[in-house]
Amino acid sequence: MYTYAQNFEDVMLNRLFHEQAIGFYIDVGAWDPHLHSVTKHFYKNGWRGVNVEPLRSKFEAFERDRPGDINLNVAVGDRPGTMQFFECLEESYLSTPDPAMANQFKTRGGTVTEYMVPVVTLNEIFEGHCPPSVDFLKIDIEGWEKPALEGCDWHRFRPRALVIEATKPATRPKSWDDIESIAMWHDWEPILLANRYVFAYFDGLNRFYVREEEAGLARRFQLPPGIFDDIAYEAPA
């Protein structure tokens, strides 16, 4: 398979769903339809889904290159409305609703522009745009994961797998003996565990979960990406 994702997330998800010809995804913080995309492999193979991206220029790229998907130019939070959004101009993938993360980018010499964006909840996305069964939900929103997760009724909406960025954005561990120095999952993982999701895999950047109803799927994450995944590489389109 061709991989487009930053850290082989698409490889691991392909392993999870290898028996399934088509399916449905939600990508919150989709950023780009090609570069570092967790969903491009699936889209090219007939899957469809919802891409959520508050950056206008990136949303327009999804509108152009993913006509079969539902593309939303909004942010996700724990309640609908509007919120301040911080666009990191030099590294737009670090753009965030989290003022603390934006300030960290500024202290490294980055340029940040602020503006208001509409906000929806995961509940609204599931209710308004999704079929009854969603195969995977990916969230990468630079420190805003907890409010996004709090905006979902996990009893009603049960995506089969979750992929959530779990480390401090653009931050390396202080040492390889101290992974906890970059950990952010302690803030939001209890929400998932309390709602019957099972931790399956940590790739150094993201944490993967499967719903308790299909806990056996976690066995497919026992090994990291490797030669038997038949990985190939393709330059972004």
> How is 8-62 classified by DSSP, letter by letter?
SHHHHHHHHTTT-S--EEEEET---SSTB-SSHHHHHTT-EEEEE---HHHHHHH
The CATH number that applies at residue 135 is: 3.40.50.150
Q: Is residue 141 part of a domain?
A: yes
What does the mean pLDDT of the chain come to? 93
Q: Is residue 109 part of a domain?
A: no
Q: Is residue 225 part of a domain?
A: yes
What is residue 217's DSSP assignment?
G
For residue 96, the model assigns a pLDDT of 85
pLDDT at 236 over 60: no
pLDDT at 120 over 60: yes
User: What is the mean pLDDT of the segment spanning 118-132?
Assistant: 97
User: What is the mean pLDDT of the segment spanning 144-160?
Assistant: 97
Confidence of residue 175 (pLDDT cuts 50, 70, 90): confident
pLDDT at 154 over 60: yes
Residue range of the domain that includes 72: 2-77+123-233
Q: Is residue 26 part of a domain?
A: yes
What is d(CA 58, CA 56) in angstroms, rounded to the nearest whole number? Answer: 5
For residue 172, the model assigns a pLDDT of 80
Q: Is residue 65 part of a domain?
A: yes
pLDDT at 107 over 90: no
Q: Would the pTM count as exceeding 0.85?
A: yes
Q: Is residue 34 part of a domain?
A: yes
The total number of structural domains in the chain stands at 1
Q: Is residue 213 part of a domain?
A: yes
